[in-house]
Structure 1
Amino acid sequence: MSIDPSSIPNFGGQQEPQAAGPAGPVVPDQDLVKQLLDQMELKHVVDDEGDLAAPWENFRTYFMFRGEGDQQVFSVRTFYDRPHDIGDKAQILDAVDDWNRRTLWPKVYTHTHEEEGGPTTVRVVGEAQMLIGTGVSLEHFVSSTVSWVRAAIEFDKWLVEHLGLVEDVDSSEKPDDDA
């Protein structure tokens, strides 16, 4: 099966035309997601556990298939790498609640990470899921996955602005004059 490139937003570069996908429902798999990420011109890797991941500078998005048969689920989960001090957890929770009230995806939550001998930090995780075991429309799968990826990117930008972390991001994007 192949993806109709006209159904994918162009994130830069030219896309080669391909035949449209099947008319009926499909059960997506990792190869289909790889093809979609390639057409979106997004770098991706398969981790040690066999999950497909697309890394960005401050977060990683995983494309995972879990379950079997009719209960198989496709999950797009984003782990935001920016650690937050445990003392800021209430502020992070307020921001996450605000995002979840305003948007459909990704739904975001916090994870408290206790490192042995180190500081306790709070990280944010975003997630969207689709039941795929009985098959889904290829067009629906593609548009949902693309929307979820874009929303994961937008959430990172929104959180940085919402928490006033813009200076941190701006300073990390400037070249080092001493280098």
Structure 2
Amino acid sequence: MTTLLFSNAPAERHAVRRHGGGVQVDDATLAVRSLGGGDFVTTVDGRGERLSAVAHGDAIYVQLKGRAWRIERVDATRSRGGASAAAAGASVAPMPGVVVSVHAGVGERVRQGDPLLVIESMKLQMTIGAAADGVVAELPFAVGQTFQRGAVLVRTTAEELAA
């Protein structure tokens, strides 16, 4: 069984597994039915909810009720290419897309989890948040600009280094 992970907040991880006709997230099982074309329906709090999912490489991008998540495959035999970029304070584009909105500027102090920008890739909007407290050092893209997979979307420096 393949284990996938997603994060609801910085430093928080949840295990995701396919389970029968649904998906198991940690200890909860959700029934999921395909509508075709990357659209699905599931039940959340007793109500039918439509969600979208797009697979790209080792990740699945899911949008539900106005929120988006990146679910990634766990494979201990492969190194994560983005790990060195993340350690350097860079948020790297998981796939090609366009910048929808920018919520911080160069030189601005940010706290872990603060929204920095919103991107759109393959019809899914994702908020890129600050991975740690710090100062925005680089923001190379403006609203409406396109980027390629692997592009640095924002770079922050540790707060103690920027002071």
Task: Settle same-fold status: TM greater than 0.5.
Answer: no
Give the TM-score of the pair, scaled to structure 1: 0.25
Higher share in helix? 1
Which structure has more strand as a fraction of its residues? Answer: 2
Return the index of the structure with the highest Cα Rg. 1
> TM-score, structure 2 length as denominator?
0.26
